[in-house]
Amino acid sequence: MGEKSEQKKQFIVDTARQVFVEKGFRDVTMKDIVDACGISRGGLYLYFDSTAALFREVLEAQQMEKDDIFTGEIPEEATATDILLVFLKEQKKEILLRKNSLAVAAYEYFFANKPAKKDNLLRRRFLQAVEILMGLIEAGVESGEFICEDPQGAAQNIMFVLEGLRVCSQTMGLSESRLDSELLYLMKDLVYEEL
C-alpha cells in the first residue's frame, strides 16, 4: 500500500474510532463511517469489508498507542516497583476514562463476535499483560522489592481485578479514591512498603 493509501486508511481508522466511542460497536453501520469520513462506500470498502474488520483495526491501533505511551514513561534505570507504578497509573487512567473510551464498544464487539481464542484481541492483550506482570513480579522478588510465592497467580489476579474494575467503572461508576483503595488493597501483599 502506498503512502497516500496508508494515510487514507489511518484517517478512516481515526475517524471510525470516534464513531465507535459515540455509538458503541453494535449500532455503528458502514454508512455511519462513510458519513463521518466524507468518503464513498467504495472508498471505505477498498480498505474494510465490515464494521467488525474496521473495529479490529481500531483496537489494534489503540493497543499500539497504549504500548508506546507505557514504554515511553519508563526511565532506563527503573526498578520493578517503578515500572509497576507506571503500569498501575496507566491502568488507572484507562479505568477512570468514561468519555472517549472504547470500552463499551469493545465489550459489545466481543460479546457479538466471539472470536476464536487465537484471534481474540482482548484475550491476547490480557495474556500479554499477565506475562509482563509475571516477569516484573519475578524481577521484583529477585531484587528484594516484592514478596510473592506465585508470580503467575499474582499477575493473573491483578489482571482479573483490573478488568473487573474497568467493567465497574463503565457500568456503575467508580470514584478515583475508591479505585486507589482497590489498587492499594491489591498490592498490599506484594510490596514491602506501601505504594
**Residue 101 — very low, low, confident or very high, per pLDDT cuts 50/70/90?**
confident
Say if residue 61 is exposed, middle or buried (CB neighbours under 10 Å; 0-12, 13-18, 19+). middle
**Grid coordinates in use for 128?**
500479554
Q: Which residue has the higher pLDDT, 117 or 59?
A: 59
Structural domains in the chain, sorted by start = 1-59 (1.10.10.60), 73-195 (1.10.357.10)
pLDDT beyond 50 at 191? yes
pLDDT over 60 at 194, yes or no: no
* Residue 191 β-bridge partners: 146
Query: 139 falls in which pLDDT band (50, 70, 90)?
Result: very high
**CA nearest 183: which of 172, 166, 171?**
166
Q: Give the phi and the psi of residue 146 in degrees, each rounded to 5.
A: -120, 155
The length of the chain in residues reads 195
Distance of CA 163 to the CA centre of its chain: 10
For the chain, helix, strand, coil in percent to 5 are: 75, 0, 25
Q: Has residue 71 got a pLDDT over 80?
A: no
Reply yes or no on whether the pLDDT at 195 is more than 50: no
> Is the pLDDT confidence value at 55 over 60?
yes
For 83-124, give the DSSP string.
Answer: HHHHHHHHHHHHHH--TT--HHHHHHHHHHH---GGG-HHHH
Residue with the bigger pLDDT between 23 and 69: it is 23
Please give the span between the terminal C-alpha atoms of the chain, in angstroms, as a whole number.
47
Nearest to 96, CA basis, from 175, 25, 152: 175
Residue 68: band (very low, low, confident or very high) from pLDDT cuts 50, 70, 90? low
- The contacts of residue 127 (CB under 8 Å, 6+ apart) are none
* pLDDT score of 160: 96
Could you give the CA distance from residue 154 to residue 169 in angstroms, rounded to a whole number? Answer: 22
Residue among 23, 19, 15 nearest 108 (CA): 23
**% of residues, the chain, pLDDT over 90:** 53
Q: What is the mean pLDDT of the chain?
A: 88
- Measured between alpha carbons, how far is 171 from 189 in angstroms, rounded to an integer? 28
- Among 70-79, 84-93, 98-107, the range of highest mean pLDDT: 84-93
Q: Which are the contacts of 48, defined by CB distance < 8 A and separation ≥ 6?
A: 12, 54, 57
